[in-house]
Structures are given as structure tokens and as C-alpha cells.
Amino acid sequence: MTDTGGRLLKVYVHPANEHAKWGGRALLAEMDLSLWPRARKLFVDWGYRGLKETASSLGLELEVVARPYAGVRGVWVPEGAEVPEIPRESGFKPLPKRWVVERTFAWLGRNRRLAKDYEENPGVSEAWVYLGMLRLLVKRLARAA
């Protein structure tokens, strides 16, 4: 979880065989919103759309940022009716708000230890992610001084 500037707020590393929605639920369950009193809204991708109840129980609004055709493979129409056109965009177009987290992943990927994941313990992986963000923020502060 990041803020709108891409700075890391919270990390939860879970096994690859666990759905992202369950990881998001565990992340939100561990949240202490007193640390971020101005947090009001969560921007999530399509995989986290089932977290609306969890977010609302914390007093947060959840907005799913997805392409208009996300998840639509076809539509049922009555016999003889015209089939509607499903709009498809070609090429890469970043979605609003979602690129912020992807940019944070790119920043963290510059750390050699985070380029490949060799850890067996998820807690160790979380610690390395926090250390990678700490390194990035310290470098920015040193540059600004």
C-alpha cells in the first residue's frame, strides 16, 4: 500500500498460491489508521474488488480502477438483436492512480536484493521491502540537503 506519491505505507507478503484479495484483506486487517489520519480512499485494481466491505468497516472508500471492458468477454443478447460492440483500446495506456504503485515497484526493483525473491519466510521479504524504501527515502533526503 502506498500513498498518492508512491511512498510505501504498508506491506504484506503472501504466498503465490493465495489470491490477491485475501492478501489485501490481511493487509487491511493489520492497518492502524491512526498513523494515517488523512487516508480516506483506496484505489485498487480488479483483483481487489471484493474488499469493499472490509474497507468500509475501516471507514475507507474503495474505488476499483479498471478498464471499462475489464472482465467482459461477451454479452447475452436476445435472438435477432444486434450484438453491442465491446470497446477495446489498442496499445499501452496507463490507468489513473494504478501507475503509482507500479512506479513504486520499479523503484524497489532497483535494489539488488529485491530484484529476485529468494526468501522462504514472508516476514523477511517484507523487511527487505521496507529497507529498500528506507534506502530510497534516505537517498532523496541526502540529495535535498
- What does the pLDDT read at residue 114? 85
Q: Are 46 and 21 in contact (CB under 8 A)?
A: no
pLDDT tens-place string over residues 60-104:
999 988 776 666 677 788 999 988 877 776 777 777 788 888 899
Question: Grid coordinates standing for 98?
Answer: 494504478
For residue 71, the model assigns a pLDDT of: 61
3-state secondary structure of 1: coil
pLDDT single digits (tens) 35-51: 988 989 999 988 888 89
Q: Residue 40 CA to chain centroid, in angstroms? A: 16
Reported pTM: 0.77
- Report d(CA 101, CA 5) in Å as an integer: 9
**pLDDT confidence bin for 130, thresholds 50/70/90:** very high
